[in-house]
Structures are given as C-alpha cells and as structure tokens.
Amino acid sequence: MSKKILLSHGGGGEETQSLIKDLFFKHFENDILLKMEDAAALTMNTKRIVFTTDSFTVSPLFFNGGNIGKLAIAGTVNDLVMMGAKPKYLTCSFMIEEGFLFSELETIVMTMRDEMAKSGVLIVAGDTKVVPKGGVDGLFINTSGVGEIMVEGISAHNLKPNHSILVSNEVGNHGACILARREDIELETELKTDCASLWKPVEALIEAGVKVVAYRDATRGGLSAVLNEWAETSNVCLEVDEDKIPVAPEVKGICEMLGFEPYEFANEGTMVLCVEEGEEQKALDILHKFEETKKASFIGKVNDKYENRVILNTPWGSSRFLEPPKGELLPRIC
C-alpha cells in the first residue's frame, strides 16, 4: 500500500520529526533551516525590506504546467518582486488532509525546491499541520516572504498621463487551464499555466536602469483587476488596445464558448508594468530575452480622459469601459 500522511505526522512526536527530516529538510536544505531553532535569524543587506504573505488553495492540486507548490513559491516571490525587491527568505506552512499521499506531497515539495532555485530564495522556517479528513481539501499551503528593496519608489500610486502600460505575457492562461481541468473541457492543444517566478526579468530591468513606475502580477481578477486598481489608486484613465493584448487562441476559444473575458482570468506568472514615456522599447527588449516574458507587449497609455476608468479600444474604432471583475465567474447559458 502506498504511504499516506497520518494524523500522527502532525502530532509533534517521532513521526513529525521523520516527516520534517525525510521530506522537508531533504529538499529544502539550507544552513538557516537546518539549525532547527524556534525562529530563523536572518541577515539582510538593505535597510528597507518588503514583507508579504499568501495562502494557496487550488482545485485540482495538479494541473498542466504546475501544481500548488509551484504557485506557493512563485506567488509569494512575485509579490516581493513587484515591489522592486530581491526575494530572500520564505516561511512555509503546510495544512495537510489526513490520508494525503506521501508521494504526491513529495512531488509538490520537489516542485517548490526547483521553483526556489529560479530566484535563489530560501525556505528558512516552516510548520506542518495534519487535519482530519474533510478538514481541508487535500492540501493548503501558506508562504510568507521577505525581500530586499533594490529600487525605491515603485508604487501603484504614481501613474501619470503619458506613462505606458505593458503586459509581460499572454493573459488568462492559468485561469483557463484550471477551468478546463476542473470542468473536464478537453482541448486539442496543450494549454499550460503561465505560473512562473518573475525575479529574473525584473532583476534585468532594474540592472538596465529601465524607468519602471509600477509592477503588479495579474493574479485573481486578471488584467482587468490590475488596470482598474491602478486607475483608481492613481486617479487616472488607462486606455488600452484590445489587439495588442496577447491572448492564446485556446483561451479565446474557452472564453467564447463559455462567455468569459480573458482579461478577468487569473494569471500566476504574468505582470503588468507601467513605465515612463520612451522606456517601452528598452523594457520590451529585455523582457523578450526571458522565456517567461517573451510575449511581452506594449498595450496602452495612461491619460486624463476620465478618472478611475479603463478604456478598451477595439481595432475597428469603437471602445468601451473595461469594468473590474465582479462576483463569481459563471458560464453563459446559451
């Protein structure tokens, strides 16, 4: 019989120790973690740090191009990176449902290790809880992270007319991929999540001195949520061109079939950038060198036509407001 996680693995005794050593230490190994103190003592190279936390629940746990572990690392890393910070240390808590397969947990942990290697971040503290069957849906993960601010002044409050808006990749891939998997929608082509850590491309932008005003990863609520939040926090109008926003044909197909907008689908490795006027090409040239941002596109401008609104222009000369997403995503009927 295959090895399963039991309630005793969370009991604090011998089984807990063996789970920590045989699984978590084995894959997350680093000097700080292996000291096994009550808290991790950290050295930071900057005076100002960024600090964030996020909890991850996803059904299904495994999907095309990733799993919950990849999300848990990339998600928190990206939150730090979006502040112009170098991700340094993470904490990680697992809430595991009794009976969860050890082999699946190990696959998830190994994915986390590989994803951490991409940005050089380390897990320095952690916690494991095992809850009775039905207490959680398989596995929940929480990660918190700290990073060193490499460039000051990155903020969603600083958008001004004539700034330019870029998106780093196709939008909607993660949301569409999860939806297709959850609802058994069979596709003839491989649609993968965009899940990725964005430190490498952002580091390159910082090193090249590209004048970036704001970064935001377009997670839940998608591109539409980010654009609307920015319009509101900076009290400006964002005007984007529909034909410049990259959307994969499979995502367009799913959206047409079910009556969704790709701009409202979640992404897990796609960011929106606001750059100063004249910096667009410099930013794109750098982004296009990285696999995770090679489809980056300059999609529109900031202006003062309205306050707090986003305008979407069609290629045939009409336009509409892009409303922020509301409520549950429910498919159309006919």
Partner 1 sequence: MQKVDLIEGFRNPEHIKALAELIKKEATHKINIMEVCGGHTHTIMKFGLPQILPQTIEFVHGPGCPVCIMPKERINHAIELAKMPNTILATLGDMIRVPGSQTSLQKLRAEGKDIRSLYTPLDVIKIAKENPEKNVIFFAIGFETTTPMTAVLLDTVIKEGIKNIYFHINHVTVPEAVDTIMGDGDAKIDAFLGPSHVSVITGYKIYEPIVEKYNTPVVVAGFEPTDVMESILRIVRQFNTGEKRFVDNEYARAVSREGNIKAQELINKYMKKREHFRWRGIGDIPKSALKLKDEYAAYDAEVKFKQVLPTQELDDHKACICGSILKGLAKPYDCKVFGKACTPSAPMGSCMVSSEGACSAYFKYGKLTAKGA
Q: Which stretch binds partner 1 (CB under 8 A): 60-68, 146-154, 245-253, 292-300?
A: 245-253
Of 68, 334, 64, 69, give the one whose Cα is nearest residue 179: 64
Residue 133, interface with partner 1 (CB under 8 A)? no
For 47, what's the count of Cα atoms within 13 Å in the CB-facing half-sphere?
1
* Cβ at position 321, least distance to partner 1 in Å: 4
Q: Identify the residue among 1, 39, 41, 333 touching partner 1 (CB under 8 A).
A: 333
19 vs 176 by CB, closer to partner 1:
176
Residues sharing a CB contact under 8 Å with residue 14, sequence separation 6 or more, in sequence order: none
Residue 157, interface with partner 1 (CB under 8 A)? no
Q: Which stretch binds partner 1 (CB under 8 A): 87-95, 159-167, 227-235, 306-314?
A: 306-314
17 vs 319 by CB, closer to partner 1:
319
Name the burial class of residue 43, with classes exposed (0-12), middle (13-18) and buried (19+) by CB atoms within 10 angstroms of its CB. exposed
Cα separation, 326 vs 312, in Å, equals 18
The Cα-based distances of 306 to 14, 121, 234 in angstroms read 63, 41, 12
Residue 134, interface with partner 1 (CB under 8 A)? no
Q: Which stretch binds partner 1 (CB under 8 A): 7-15, 76-84, 85-93, 314-322?
A: 314-322
Hey, which residues between 164 and 223 contact partner 1 (CB under 8 A)? 183, 185, 188
Residue 331, interface with partner 1 (CB under 8 A)? yes
Residue 137, interface with partner 1 (CB under 8 A)? no
65 vs 253 by CB, closer to partner 1:
253
Residues sharing a CB contact under 8 Å with residue 308, sequence separation 6 or more, in sequence order: 228, 231, 232, 235, 236, 237
Beta strands 62-63 and 66-67 are antiparallel
* Binding positions for partner 1, rule: CB under 8 A: 183, 185, 188, 243, 249, 252-253, 256, 258-259, 305-306, 311, 314-321, 323, 326-328, 330-334
